[in-house]
Every structure is written in structure tokens, then in C-alpha cells.
């Protein structure tokens, strides 16, 4: 599977652009702010139906316009597949595959597996538990549509339960019969989500450990600990938390409170890992992400590397590029503000590569071997 071309209309700083790609390595070169990351983000949008760095679609529209569209042509097992993503102010977004709209946008997730490594990924290591849940949910959702549906349904019921708790506080009353159905549904859906997360972590751990070992010369023993209210006795925990729920007007137990603790030599990486150790752990997480999707789906995901060379030392860059040269990956997209660096790196690799010089939303392609 690879992306053959993309056409942008009024997406971020691109008024209009169309570009064709190499099935192997593609380098987006240009100064910071020129539009390299925006082009990478358009590819991300084709896979995930949303921007990687903007919460709202309207924030992705070209200045003073009222809509954008992204069209991508993929090649999957010698068959062309066309994805269209479009949004107009005041209307629902449109996602189409081969000119057929989805009933639910979420049905598209996993059709074109993609892994992004970006500068703000440090949030996965250093941020709140929500960042780690989102990271793993994004991986699992690409291979398990049922998991994604249960997760969406859980969050919907959670909102309803929280709204009811607020109503109780505002009206100074409590009705257990009214609240109980929402609690039971949270337990039902949360149990399903917890089972999948538990199984996933067990299969993900070995991939993570293998990649950390390859990337780092350090000898630390690493792992992941999955902490969840659903590990045992969730019904009792929900009941004992009811008083606190009513006071705080929100649900305090559930899979929305799950935590994934990244461990190195029996201590949390977040608190005790050096900057180099955290970088190695993060890249290992992303490469394990890649391998998990490849193993589950039988195809190599598209790999998006945004400004990655500035975040890695020479040793880690060399190790990563050795993997690129070994055919471990499929199609790769890289951004770099220092063209001479990328050119020097990829000229040494026996892979077809193509350079795209980007300046203020204008793209100039240069053919290479």
C-alpha cells in the first residue's frame, strides 16, 4: 500500500496544490513555516479523518475561505483507491472512499494504516494519562472497529451520566433509579474496552522491548504497566464512588481514568528517565506501533516523520536509517528544515527517494533515483 498523489484545495496554507509521490521515500524540504508539516498533516487527515494538530476542522481552512478539500489516490494491491476529505463551515465533514460516503466517519479508520512521529509526541511520555490513552486507542482502533465503536459509545454514555450528575446538583435532588441505567451501561461497555486494552498491551510489550533494544545502547529493562478500575470489582468501585461523583458532578471511576505507566528499571520513565532515554522510549513506542499494525493488517503502514532529525542524536538517526535501508518500512514521508542534511542521509540509502522543496505553500518536486 502507498499514497500515489494528493490534491489540496484551501487546506491550511495551501490555496491549491497537487503532487505525486514515490512509493518509498519522500522528503519535504523547506524553512520552518513554509508548509512542510501542513502537507504531512493532509496525509494524516486522509488516514484518520482529522488533523493531527488542530482540534477543529474549521481551523484547517485557508485564510478567509469557507471550505477545504483533500483528495488522495492510494494504490492497494494493484488497485487504486481514492479518498476524499472535505469540510465547509457550518456543515458536517465529508469523507468518501471511491466516491462513496460513509454512514459513519469512524468506519474509515484503519483502511489506510498510518503512523506519525512528530515533535509534540513527547506528550505521550511526559503528559497526562489522557495523552497515553489517546495514543493506544488510535493504534487499537485501526485494527478493531468494534473496539472503536464501544469506545465511542462509552464516551457518549459518560457524557450523559455526567450531565445527569450536574442536573442532580443544580436541582438539589438525587434519583438512583434514573442514574442506574447509565452506570450499568458504562460497566458493560467499559468491560469490553478493558478486555481489549489488556490483551493489546500483552502483544505490544515485546515489540516495544525489541525496538528499544535496537535503538539504544543502554541496557535498561523496560515495560508497560496497565492500571485500570476494571482490573477487579468495578461495580463496587462505582458504588463507593457515588458520593464523590455527586459532589464533583462527574464520573470518577471508569476506563476514562485508565493509565499506562511506562517503566524503565522498575521506575516510571516520565519521572526518572533521562532526555535520551525518553527519546529512545518514544521512538520505540512508535516503531512498535508500526509493527503491531503491520502484523495485524498484513500491510506496511505509511510512516510520517515530522522534524524527527532535530529530535534525535546521530546514533539514533543512524540506527533508524539502517532500518529504512533494510526494507523494514514501506512508504515514508519526512520533513526537514535543513535540506543538505536529508539529502546527505538519503543519498546513502538504496531506496527510491524524491525531494519536494516547499516555500510558502508552493511545492517544487525534484526527481531522484
Residues annotated as binding site? 30-37
Q: Annotated binding site for ATP, which residues?
A: 30-37
> What is the phi/psi pair of residue 287, to 5°?
-70, -35
Tell me the three cell numbers of residue 352: 527510491
Question: Contact 278/212 with Cβ under 8 angstroms?
Answer: no
Sheet holding 222-227, edge to edge: 222-227, 259-264, 267-268
Task: Using alpha carbons, select from 289, 291, 341, 300 the residue that is nearest to residue 318.
Answer: 341
Regarding beta strands 94-97 and 67-76, do their DSSP bridges make them parallel or antiparallel, or are they unpaired? unpaired
Amino acid at each position: 500500500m502507498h499514497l500515489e498523489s494528493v490534491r489540496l484545495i484551501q487546506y491550511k496554507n495551501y490555496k491549491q496544490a497537487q503532487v505525486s509521490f514515490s512509493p518509498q521515500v519522500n522528503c519535504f524540504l523547506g524553512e520552518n513555516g513554509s508548509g512542510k508539516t501542513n502537507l504531512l498533516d493532509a496525509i494524516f487527515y486522509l488516514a484518520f479523518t482529522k488533523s493531527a494538530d488542530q482540534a477543529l476542522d474549521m481551523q484547517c481552512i485557508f485564510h478567509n475561505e469557507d471550505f477545504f478539500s483533500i483528495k488522495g489516490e492510494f494504490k492497494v494491491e494493484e488497485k487504486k483507491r481514492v479518498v476524499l476529505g472535505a469540510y465547509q463551515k457550518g456543515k458536517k465533514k465529508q469523507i468518501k472512499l471511491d466516491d462513496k460516503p460513509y454512514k459513519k466517519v469512524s468506519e474509515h479508520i484503519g483502511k489506510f494504516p498510518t503512523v506519525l512521529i512528530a515533535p509534540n509526541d513527547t506528550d505521550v511520555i511526559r503528559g497526562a494519562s489522557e495523552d497515553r490513552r489517546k495514543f493506544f486507542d488510535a493504534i487499537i482502533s485501526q485494527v478493531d472497529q468494534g473496539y472503536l465503536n464501544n469506545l465511542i459509545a462509552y464516551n457518549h454514555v459518560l457524557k450523559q451520566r455526567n450531565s445527569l450528575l450536574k442536573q442532580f446538583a443544580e436541582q438539589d435532588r438525587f434519583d438512583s433509579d434514573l442514574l442506574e441505567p447509565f452506570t450499568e451501561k458504562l460497566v458493560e461497555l467499559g468491560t469490553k474496552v478493558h478486555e481489549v486494552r489488556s490483551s493489546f498491551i500483552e502483544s505490544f510489550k515485546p515489540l516495544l522491548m525489541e525496538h528499544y533494544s535496537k535503538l539504544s545502547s543502554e541496557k535498561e529493562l523496560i515495560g508497560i504497566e496497565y492500571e485500570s478500575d476494571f482490573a477487579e470489582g468495578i461495580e463496587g468501585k462505582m458504588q463507593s464512588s457515588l458520593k464523590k461523583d455527586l459532589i464533583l458532578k462527574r464520573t470518577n471511576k471508569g476506563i476514562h481514568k485508565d493509565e499506562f505507566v511506562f517503566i524503565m528499571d522498575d521506575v516510571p520513565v516520565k519521572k526518572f528517565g533521562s532526555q535520551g532515554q525518553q527519546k529512545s522510549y518514544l521512538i520505540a513506542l512508535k516503531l512498535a506501533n508500526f509493527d503491531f499494525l503491520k502484523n495485524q493488517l498484513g500491510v506496511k503502514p505509511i510512516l510520517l516523520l515530522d522534524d524527527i532529525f532535530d529530535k534525535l542524536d546521530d546514533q539514533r538517526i543512524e540506527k533508524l536509517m539502517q532500518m529504512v535501508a533494510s526494507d523494514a518500512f514501506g512508504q515514508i514521508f519526512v520533513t526537514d528544515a535543513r535540506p543538505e542534511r536529508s539529502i546527505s542521509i538519503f543519498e546513502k540509502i538504496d531506496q527510491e527517494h524524491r525531494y519536494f522543496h516547499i516555500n510558502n505553500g508552493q511545492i517544487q518536486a525534484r526527481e531522484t533515483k
